[in-house]
Amino acid sequence: DTGVSQNPRHKITKRGQNVTFRCDPISEHNRLYWYRQTLGQGPEFLTYFQNEAQLEKSRLLSDRFSAERPKGSFSTLEIQRTEQGDSAMYLCASSQLETGTYEQYFGPGTRLTVT
Amino acid sequence: DAKTTQPPSMDCAEGRAANLPCNHSTISGNEYVYWYRQIHSQGPQYIIHGLKNNETNEMASLIITEDRKSSTLILPHATLRDTAVYYCIVRAFYNQGGKLIFGQGTELSVKP
């Protein structure tokens, strides 16, 4: 257990429905990252926050995806109008810049299946 | 960030050293080499990172060649729990707080 939690762990939804995932980072960590991983591939970066500011978004993050970190603590990732191609593991990670280490601590992920 | 090349898979006998190579021939002077691993059904886990000197921690050792074009992650006494996908990642110093760019990694199977 890295201290990063994600909920739910599994989500099955029908195509066209909206889904929201939550990530709770390690409490003192100011950076929070979202990645997506499909079967047999390495994780792909989606977006990251420093405190509540979203600093970078990947081109993978289409306009159906939105991420928030309203108070600089937990974050949510929402996918609107889900498509079968959205089926993947969604991973959250956090890090703390000020300690001078840059390792990212990953949560267990949320596995999304779109039917 | 520089591109990396790793073998897709490797086997190692339990108790022996596992040596995982990574080629990063286009690495530049301000880029660090990071290693993460991902055990099945878990999120990636940080292992070690280095710039040009060899590094060692409680998990592994990282050997970087003098020209920095390649590196080797060494697990000195591999156990069955070390079976995982190992990712070698190169990151610029100024991007150390930013995203990780994962490749395909090396799938290490530790066998009894």
Query: Over the stretch B24-48, which tens digit does the pLDDT of each residue have?
Result: 999 988 888 999 999 998 999 999 9
Interchain contact, A48 vs B99, CB within 8 Å: yes
The bridge status of strand B9-13 relative to strand B106-111 is: parallel
pLDDT above 70 coverage of chain B, percent: 94
Q: Per the structure block, which two tokens stand in for B23? A: 């080629």
pLDDT band at B13 (very low <50, low <70, confident <90, very high): very high
List the single residue in B41, B45, B104 with the smallest CB-CB distance to A106: B45
Phi-psi region of A81 (alpha: psi -120 to 50; beta: other; left: phi over 0): left
Average pLDDT rounded to a whole number, residues A7-15: 97
Nearest CA in chain A to B104: A42
pLDDT for B96 equals: 65
Q: What is the pLDDT of residues A53-109, one digit of tens each?
A: 999 999 888 899 999 999 889 999 999 999 999 999 999 999 987 655 578 999 999
Tell me the chain A residues in contact with residue B45 when contact means C-beta distances shorter than 8 Å: 2, 106
What is the number of other CB atoms lying within 10 angstroms of the CB of residue B73? 25
Interchain contact, B43 vs A56, CB within 8 Å: no
Q: Exposure pattern of A39-78 as b/e (b: 16+ CB <10 Å)?
A: eeebbbbbbbbbeeebeeebeebeeebbbebeeeebbebe
Of A31-40, A73-82, B96-105, the range with the lowest mean pLDDT is B96-105
Average pLDDT rounded to a whole number, residues B62-88: 97
pLDDT for A14 equals: 98
Interchain contact, A42 vs B102, CB within 8 Å: yes
Tell me the chain A residues in contact with residue B41 when contact means C-beta distances shorter than 8 Å: 108
List the single residue in B41, B100, B105 with the smallest CB-CB distance to A104: B100
Tell me the chain A residues in contact with residue B37 when contact means C-beta distances shorter than 8 Å: none
Average pLDDT rounded to a whole number, residues B66-75: 96
Residues 6 or more apart whose CB falls under 8 angstroms from that of B55 comprise B48, B49, B61, B62
Please name which of A36, A21, A69 lies closest in space to residue B44, comparing C-alpha atoms: A36
